[in-house]
Amino acid sequence: MIRVNDNYLNLQDSYLFSTIAKKVNEFTKNNPDKKIIKLGIGDVTKPIVPAVIEAMHKAVDEMGQKETFKGYGPEQGYEFLRNKIIEIDFKARGINILPEEIFVSDGAKSDSGNIGDILHNSNKVAITDPVYPVYLDTNVMAGRSGKFNEKTGMYENIVYMPVTAENNFIPELPKEKVDMIYLCLPNNPTGTTLTKEELKKWVDYAKENKSIILFDAAYEKFIMDKNVPHSIYEVEGAKEVAIEFRSFSKTAGFTGVRCAYAVVPKELYGYDKDGNKIELNKLWNRRHSTKTNGVSYIVQRAAEAVYSEEGQKQITENIEYYMNNARIIRQGLEEVGYTVFGGENSPYVWLKVPEGLTSWEFFDKLLSEVNVVGTPGAGFGPSGEGYFRLTAFGTKENILEAIDRIKKWTIKK
Ligand code: MLT
């Protein structure tokens, strides 16, 4: 008899973005004449920049020549890419990272979902609420949660740290001792950030409690404010307590290409059952080299080109384009009375839904009455109720049209 992993039976129906896609497909089937504008899932729309495309073409050609053909590469990533990452993403900010601390992968979603493989199932997990659903769901899959409580909308045995307008989107340190802390900054979904001083409190907490911070910095390139840290390693001592996840998806339009990396510092330790210190870098390296053969040579050459002078210039232009979209969303919504957050250091705008509506009701109304798709805050956790997320990753034309529709619709009501 094949036994299934019972933890999967403890998951909620479906992954948030799959539920939304299903609802949108159904609406489209019943209303084929409507032009739907999708500002739900944070997927990029601008094509990959020329410097990267050129590098990819070159790498494809290399694969066709016997002198330059590449078979398996190093599972952790080619040196040429790891060195560029170190130089541009860290050294330029005064952070010292070693090549063997970088693990190139196919996505921050996979990395943040897989990291639990090397951590014990008895660890107490803390997540912000609302949260990117992958952190929660992968811990439910691993059996680190208790049952889902329909009344509270929360899993037992998971520590939820609310981030709402009431606390200025600054999570409070947990009152109880937790072992694994997920922080995503700039935050998905709220689009808000923390200062270095705020971040330091988490590093101090983690040191004091021998906890680990799983720091998702996938939206780091969207930071415009000089006071906002780009990496948790800007906080002194963070290499002793944090793993950082980075991604080329939103930064360089790689959602369909797939490339990311995780930083697992050498000075970061976990503990075995007897309290002996275990180097997490060694465990992750073992896991990585056993379960993957890494990312293709072509894709890694493409990622390398992101760091060229031209590449940096071109991706910055794309990021500015998206951030201009975020401004259009923010301003347009504010003009008709919405309270909005985020969108200044992040491609996500987080708005308060009108009084009397739940976030899913607002989702349904927006879809059926103005044909605009967003993401209901409640889909990210119970404290997301009453909020709604719009992404700035659309085309400018679509963003202008969507905001115009929402403004007219709001005024009419
Ligand atoms: C989101 O919309 O939250 C993200 O695009 C999802 C993801 O990156 O996996």
Residue 16 Cα, ligand 1 centroid: separation in angstroms? Answer: 10
State how far the Cα of 262 lies from the Cα of 115, in Å rounded to an integer: 10
User: From residue 389, how far is each of 19, 201, 260, 354 by CA, in Å?
Assistant: 15, 28, 24, 13
User: From residue 6, how far is each of 3, 111, 403 by CA, in Å?
Assistant: 8, 23, 44
| Full DSSP string of 325-345 | HHHHHHHHHHHTT--EEE-SS
Q: Which is nearest to 292 in space by CA: 73, 118, 75? A: 75
Q: What is the pLDDT of residues 364-412, one digit of tens each?
A: 999 999 999 999 999 999 999 999 999 999 999 999 999 999 999 998 7
Q: What's the sign of the alpha-carbon dihedral 218, 220, 223, 225?
A: positive
Exposed, middle or buried, 26 (CB in 10 Å: 0-12/13-18/19+)? exposed
Residue at 57: amino acid letter:
H
The number of the ligand 1 atom at minimal distance from the alpha carbon of 247 is: 8
Residue 246 Cα, ligand 1 centroid: separation in angstroms? Answer: 13
Question: What is the overall mean pLDDT for the chain?
Answer: 97
Which among 24, 43, 251 is the best mutation to test ligand 1's pocket, defined by most ligand atoms within 8 Å of the CB? 43
The number of the ligand 1 atom at minimal distance from the alpha carbon of 109 is: 9
Cis geometry, peptide bond prior to residue 189 (ω within 30 degrees of 0): yes
The predicted model gives 282-293 an average pLDDT of 97
Q: What is the pLDDT of residues 83-114, one digit of tens each?
A: 999 999 999 999 999 999 999 999 999 999 99
Q: What is the pLDDT of residues 311-345, one digit of tens each?
A: 999 999 999 999 999 999 999 999 999 999 999 99
Which among 132, 250, 348, 391 is the best mutation to test ligand 1's pocket, defined by most ligand atoms within 8 Å of the CB? 132
What is the structure's pLDDT at 105? 98
State how far the Cα of 312 lies from the Cα of 314, in Å rounded to an integer: 5
Nearest CA to ligand 1 atom 5: 42
The predicted model gives 119-139 an average pLDDT of 97
User: From residue 191, how far is each of 76, 126, 133, 283 by CA, in Å?
Assistant: 31, 19, 15, 33
Contact criterion met (CB below 8 Å) for 174 and 126: yes
State how far the Cα of 217 lies from the Cα of 231, in Å rounded to an integer: 7
Residue 64 Cα, ligand 1 centroid: separation in angstroms? Answer: 34
The number of the ligand 1 atom at minimal distance from the alpha carbon of 391 is: 2
The gap between the terminal CA atoms of the chain, to the nearest Å, is 58
The two structure tokens encoding residue 141? 């899959």
The number of the ligand 1 atom at minimal distance from the alpha carbon of 189 is: 3
231: Cβ contacts below 8 Å, ≥ 6 apart: 89, 90, 93, 95, 217, 220, 244
The two structure tokens encoding residue 214? 């799983």
Q: Which is nearest to 185 in space by CA: 143, 150, 239, 227? A: 227
Residue 41 Cα, ligand 1 centroid: separation in angstroms? Answer: 6
* Coil vs helix vs strand at 356: coil
Q: What is the pLDDT of residues 146-201, one digit of tens each?
A: 999 999 999 999 999 999 999 999 999 999 999 999 999 999 999 999 999 999 99
Residue 169 Cα, ligand 1 centroid: separation in angstroms? Answer: 19
Ligand 1 interacting residues, C-beta cut-off 6 A: 41-43, 109, 132, 188
Beta strands in 156-293 (DSSP E): 158-162, 180-184, 212-216, 242-247, 260-263, 269-271, 277-279
The predicted model gives 355-372 an average pLDDT of 97
Residue 278 Cα, ligand 1 centroid: separation in angstroms? Answer: 32
The predicted model gives 32-38 an average pLDDT of 97
**Vertex 263: Cα angle to 262 and 265 (nearest 5):** 150
What is the structure's pLDDT at 93? 96
Phi-psi region of 338 (alpha: psi -120 to 50; beta: other; left: phi over 0): beta
State how far the Cα of 39 lies from the Cα of 391, in Å rounded to an integer: 5
State how far the Cα of 357 lies from the Cα of 227, in Å rounded to an integer: 36
The predicted model gives 249-269 an average pLDDT of 98
Q: How confident is the model at residue 121 (pLDDT cuts 50, 70, 90)?
A: very high
What is the structure's pLDDT at 102? 98
Residue 133 Cα, ligand 1 centroid: separation in angstroms? Answer: 9
Residue 374 Cα, ligand 1 centroid: separation in angstroms? Answer: 12
Phi-psi region of 17 (alpha: psi -120 to 50; beta: other; left: phi over 0): alpha
State how far the Cα of 121 lies from the Cα of 171, in Å rounded to an integer: 24
Q: Which is nearest to 383 in space by CA: 38, 18, 136, 15? A: 136
Q: Check whether 14 has a pLDDT greater than 90.
A: no
